[in-house]
Amino acid sequence: MNIELQCCALFIVFTIFVMFMREKKLDLMNRKLFFHALCACFGCLIFDILSVILINLAVHQGFSPIITSIVCKLYIMLLTLQGFCGYVYASTSLLPVDKTWAKVVKTLSYVIFIAGEILMFVLPIGYEAYDRVVYSYGPSTSVAYVLSAVYIISTILTTIAYRKQMPGRRLVAMLLWQGIWLLAAAIQFVAPQLLLMGFASAFGMVILYIQLENPSEYIDASTGLFTINALSAYVHDRYKFGKRFAMFTAKIHFISNGVDYNIEQDAIIRTARALVALGPEPAFRIDDDTFCVLYDDKERMYERASNIKMQKDGVNDIPAKGTYLLVPDSLLMNGPDEFFRFLHTYLESDAEIVEADKELVEKLREQNRVKELIDEALSEDRVEVFYQPFYNVRESCFDVAEALVRIRQKNGELVPPGVFIPVAEKSGQIIPLGIRVFEKVCEFLSKGEAIKYGLRQVEVNISAAQFDYENPARFVLEYLDEYGVEPGCINLEITETAAARNKDFMLRSMNKLIEEGISFSLDDFGTGRSNIDYFVNMPIKIIKFDHSFTKGFFNNVKIKHVMTGMIDIFHKMNMEIVVEGIEIEDQVGVMKDMGVEFIQGFYYSKPIPENELLAFLRDRNNIVS
Ligand code: C2E
Ligand code: MG
Ligand code: MG
């Protein structure tokens, strides 16, 4: 009898079925729909085999024509159901859920399907069997052919229409699946003895299972938890279908870098177990050392999360501690992108417990706006450099100026660096920004006017964090060469709003620049950000006392003593001193008496654009042009 291919197909589908049932499942819409399609395929194959057997029995041995007809009808109804499930599987993740037209399309497809199934059941069917050819015919079968064709074509068209919002792999898998179906139907049409349809649909299921529903992508091999891919699919699904959720995330920090690999793995496995023990909710491993559990509501999350075994100051006996991130309501964020941005940003924070609320999400949005502001300013050349001249006490002139970056907004207003430098340091935009500032400074110096009016050196700020991304020596030397600027005209001020992670690398890079004739200052001294390491171990020539420290000098006797002592120490170490934040004349006198080399402050000048600096230098350095 002509059922070999269907039996093979049944075996394949049964294998997928067993594997699918055995794996840990996540409540994902696509997985549910895949399961429906798999069941339809399974049922269809059983009735395919049954109908071939019964048709043969009915034609050759007089078996009941009524039962045979019913089985034949059930087979073609299941075949159509399979096509319908395929269409629903393909379209549900693609069509928008909130658009009226999409709802109409969905309702219509269900109505057509149900009407078709009823028609197939009530309309007459015939069947025939000779040699190896077995087939059914009649109005009922015709409805099945038409509907199946409609579903296959709709699936292909929907897939093609939404190809841009689909990962390439999904697109290929969907088209391959539907293409195989079409090919099998065409072959079966011309050669009815080849009952290929059942086998083709089983083959399609194999493609979908391996390419799209592959469990290895969703399960982390070493912990058995769900992976970041699973989390991404789950979160997208929840946002798409408007289902809110709460999330508890834990990141393990090993207290020292050299923790033994086995101890690390042990901590990870134990954390994974602790999370699984927290309840039936799905637990994910989203990074080597970061885990999360998703809950349907925040009450459940708070209740379960309070049971977490990991303590703030150690994972039991392991030298590690945790950072906890709680998201009580996913709808605080406006979609998966913002949700993951939030996760990414706040998991890196130093706080032990971060709880998402409106304020924090708004802060994230603000940061994002600042990032966009920087990107736009860079691409539209709205990054400007202002200069603040310093007074050289020994030479009684203004021969140094600090370059201070600003962003000019489209409406002409200026954004001060305090708003965007910390964001740029975190996002890495400090690299293009720093390069742009340096190029502008070189361009300015290359014109020669500032030097003609007595300017000897420009101090350019460079964040310690810049050394984490690249070697600044490269662009510094490149631009000096390109614009023909003497290295001695540049002094780099190291600012440490974000600490450098690799001090050795930083030191090598600094030494390379010093060899070329560039000098370094330590900025922000006295703010608590400037590390003692810098002036003891780093090749620093100038110390800049931050204006908060200078202010303290005039208001607080203790700070006055500290500052006086520090000035003495730095002078003994052959370093020069710049005091910042000098705003009134009396302060100038005091600082001169203290023996500082340079005075910077609003008393002399605020940071000003190039042309104003040139006028300032010319007037105050008494240069006759
Ligand atoms: P900073 O390097 O310590 O620069 C001195 C800051 O103090 C400037 O603020 C300046 O306007 C301000 N200042 C100067 N004199 C006085 C005064 O008498 N009173 C008061 N109240 N303030 C005074 P600005 O321009 O807003 O810059 C803030 C910070 O942004 C800088 O502090 C520096 O850390 C950073 N920054 C500026 N430009 C750059 C840059 O190109 N790259 C990097 N990485 N950081 C930069
Ligand atoms: Mg500075
Ligand atoms: Mg400073």
- Strands in 526-565 per DSSP E: 542-545
Q: Which letter does DSSP use for residue 331 in this model?
A: G
Cα separation values, 442 from 334, 453, 461, 480, 510, Å: 44, 16, 14, 7, 19
pLDDT score for 521: 93
Strands 542-545 and 576-579: parallel
| CA of residue 478 to ligand 2 center, whole Å | 22
Count, in order, helices (H) and strands (E) of the chain.
24, 16
Cα separation values, 64 from 72, 123, 369, 498, Å: 12, 18, 74, 84
C-alpha angle 583/589/593, rounded to 5°?
Answer: 130
553, 593 Cβ separation under 8 angstroms = no
Beta bridge partners, 542, equal: 521, 576
> Candidates 385, 461, 553, 583: which one to mutate for ligand 1, based on the most atoms within 8 Å of Cβ?
461
Q: Is the CB of 610 under 6 A from ligand 1?
A: no
Cα gap 113→88, rounded to integer Å: 11
User: Could you please report the per-residue DSSP string of 396-462?
Assistant: TEEEEEEEEEEEE-TTS-EE-HHHHHHHHHHHSTHHHHHHHHHHHHHHHHHT-HHHHTT--EEEEEE
Q: N- to C-terminal Cα distance for the chain?
A: 108
Helix axes of 228-240 and 29-61: crossing angle, nearest 10 degrees: 90
Q: Is the CB of 388 under 6 A from ligand 1?
A: yes
Helix axes of 65-92 and 29-61: crossing angle, nearest 10 degrees: 160
**Count of C-beta atoms within a 10 Å radius of residue 535:** 19
- Amino acid in the structure at residue 35: F
Residue 404 alpha carbon, nearest atom of ligand 1: 38
Cα gap 380→223, rounded to integer Å: 48
Which positions ≥6 away from 370 have C-beta within 8 Å? Answer: 419, 420, 423
From the CA of 414, which ligand is nearest?
A: 1
Beta bridge partners, 360, equal: none
C-alpha Rg value of the chain to the nearest Å: 36
Q: Which letter does DSSP use for residue 163 in this model?
A: G
Name residues of the chain where pLDDT drops below 50. 309-314
| CA of residue 273 to ligand 3 center, whole Å | 49
600, 402 Cβ separation under 8 angstroms = yes
Cα separation values, 435 from 256, 398, 461, 533, 613, Å: 35, 26, 11, 26, 22
Nearest residue to 254 via CA among 228, 227, 303, 289? 289
Beta bridge partners, 389, equal: 401
Q: Is the CB of 591 under 6 A from ligand 1?
A: no
Q: Is the CB of 404 under 6 A from ligand 1?
A: yes
Q: How many residues does the chain have?
A: 625
Token pair 């009649």: residue: 138
Kindly report the pTM of this predicted structure: 0.76
